[in-house]
Amino acid sequence: MDSGKNWMMKILYRVLRNGKPMAAVTTKVDDSAGWGNLSGRPHEYDQARVQENYTDALTAWRKNPFAWRIVAITTDYVVGEQITVSSARRDLQRFIERFWNHPQNRMDMRLESMCDELVRSGDLFVLLFRNPQDGMSYIRFVTKDRISKIETASNDWENEQVFYEQQESGELKAWLSPRHPDAEGENAVMLHYAVNRPVGALLGESDLITMIPWLQRYSRMLEDRVRLHWAVRAFLWIVTVPGNKVKEKLEQYRTAPESGSIIVKDESEQWQAVAPLLHGADSEPDLKAVRQMIDAGSGYPPHWRGEPTDTNLATATAMQAPTERHLTRRQNYFIFMLQDILYHAYQRAVQVGKARPLPELSYDDLFSVDVPEIAKIDNARQASAAMNISQAFSNLIKGLEPLSSPTLSEKMIRVMFKFAGEPLEEEWVRQVVKEISQPNTPVKANETS
């Protein structure tokens, strides 16, 4: 029996040793002399590490279902069914429509891949190629692993001036930022957006970066279990015979009997099949612990990726709150990114005299963005809160009749719209109270060109 166990251990060892890893995602990067820090700042990875991280995240997304699903969930919530950008200014609105729907841009079809790349790599490098005939810009992208250097202003490291792209020929192609003094005369400029960026660094980091080691471990653990379960189909026959028949039986059973064979033996010969004992249940806590590390890195609760747990509805709802806040912040940054792209594309048209200059206003004043709601339940809660507070104010007003207080009216309007999730600016509140107190006064509509 001991010799049989030794042979079985040898079989299992060969199965595990000879198997090829299914989900190894670390690439081999040439770290010979010539690699340098991308920006020269102490908080920046060197170029070899940047390429390694980028390739790891991309390969994990392509091969690992967990990584693919994490990226897909983020994009599903951030982009949703549709994002619409508009403007109250007529010239800007016409430009947005042309840019958004231009055959060279087709922004509705690009939003998903733009968000995926931002999640995977942590950075998005956008090129705007200007057509000098009509001032229209065409959007293209450069992947993070091709950016070898970024130059900033000498007195402001956040003011990015020049981006250097590694060409196939080995030469560097310089792309100017719109902030560069010579950018106006260039046919194309580059914009850079980053998430998960440490203070003091120019490049962001992938949402997958902390999970990649645990994704690798989980894949290897599963791979080992698959190989072991394959090996369990292999077994050994232990044949016990009297000592004087060992040589004879070794020769007789040199070739194992085929399945279905009939062996006739006497009572002195005993047969026993030996198969591996896997203890599969023993691996469950370890696999669960690794999955929890992956969930901690993603920030998404287990039931979002379809894992059945004993979590009840109240617990699941509480688990979603931090995730929804994270997704809301990411969606706000994605909105800023789209506004910034449209603003610079319009400014490029202004530079060649194909559009009228814009006033110095914030993006929120220039653009209106319609985005999908991250947490649908919040809308129902806000609507219910607004209805309850408005009913309370209605009862209060009835109790105060015939008294009228503009101060109280301002307070009630302000609070009601706050509970509804649409707080009004002070100027708007005062205007509403004025219109209520003077119902016959004509109101002039604010017109914007």
* Total domains, the chain: 2
Q: How far apart are CA 400 and CA 415, in angstroms?
A: 18
Do 19 and 69 lie in one domain? The reply is yes
Last residue of a domain, one of 326, 353, 372: 372
pLDDT (0 to 100) of residue 19:
54
H helical segments located in 232-312: 246-252, 284-298
Amino acid 278 reads: L
User: 2-6, 47-51, 191-195, 315-319: which has the minimum mean pLDDT?
Assistant: 2-6
Do 210 and 141 lie in one domain? The reply is yes
Peptide bond into 322 cis (omega under 30): no
Question: pLDDT, tens digit, for every residue of 197-233?
Answer: 988 889 999 999 999 999 988 888 877 777 766 666 6
Q: 389 or 68, which is more confident?
A: 68
Do 340 and 390 lie in one domain? The reply is no
315 in a domain, yes or no? no
Q: How far apart are CA 379 and CA 34, in angstroms?
A: 55
Q: CB within 8 A of 437, min separation 6: which ones?
A: 404, 406
Last residue of a domain, one of 350, 372, 394: 372
What is the distance between the terminal CA atoms of the chain, rounded to a whole angstrom?
92
282 in a domain, yes or no? no
Do 227 and 360 lie in one domain? The reply is yes
Question: Residue 304 has what DSSP assignment?
Answer: G
Find where tokens 């690794």 sit: 290
Q: 293 or 115, which is more confident?
A: 115
189 in a domain, yes or no? yes
Q: Taking each helix axis from N to C terminus, what angle separates 107-121 and 65-78, rounded to the nearest 10 degrees?
A: 130
Residue 21 has pLDDT above 80, yes or no: no
Do 227 and 362 lie in one domain? The reply is yes
255 in a domain, yes or no? no
Do 410 and 291 lie in one domain? The reply is no
Q: CB within 8 A of 178, min separation 6: which ones?
A: 189, 191, 344, 347, 348
246 in a domain, yes or no? no
pLDDT (0 to 100) of residue 403:
55
Model confidence at 391, in pLDDT bands (50, 70, 90)?
confident
Q: How far apart are CA 360 and CA 55, in angstroms?
A: 41
Strands 84-86, 368-370: parallel, antiparallel or unpaired by DSSP? Answer: antiparallel
Domain that residue 181 falls in: 10-234+287-310+335-372
Model confidence at 264, in pLDDT bands (50, 70, 90)?
confident
**CA-based nearest residue to 148, from 113, 172, 125, 116:** 172
Give how far the C-alpha of residue 187 lies from the chain's centroid of Cα atoms, to the nearest Å: 32
Question: Residue 37 has what DSSP assignment?
Answer: B
Do 340 and 403 lie in one domain? The reply is no
81 in a domain, yes or no? yes
34 in a domain, yes or no? yes
**DSSP of 173-234:** EEEE-TTSTTGGG-SEEEEEEESSPPTT-SS---TTTTTHHHHHHHHHHHHHHHHHHHHTT-
Report, as an integer, the average pLDDT of 419-448: 64
Do 399 and 349 lie in one domain? The reply is no
Do 434 and 362 lie in one domain? The reply is no
pLDDT (0 to 100) of residue 33:
39
User: 4-18, 57-71, 256-270, 278-292: which has the minimum mean pLDDT?
Assistant: 4-18
Question: pLDDT, tens digit, for every residue of 351-377?
Answer: 999 999 999 999 999 999 999 888 765
Q: 286 or 183, which is more confident?
A: 183
431 in a domain, yes or no? yes
Last residue of a domain, one of 325, 345, 372: 372
Do 41 and 136 lie in one domain? The reply is yes
Do 168 and 107 lie in one domain? The reply is yes
Do 413 and 305 lie in one domain? The reply is no
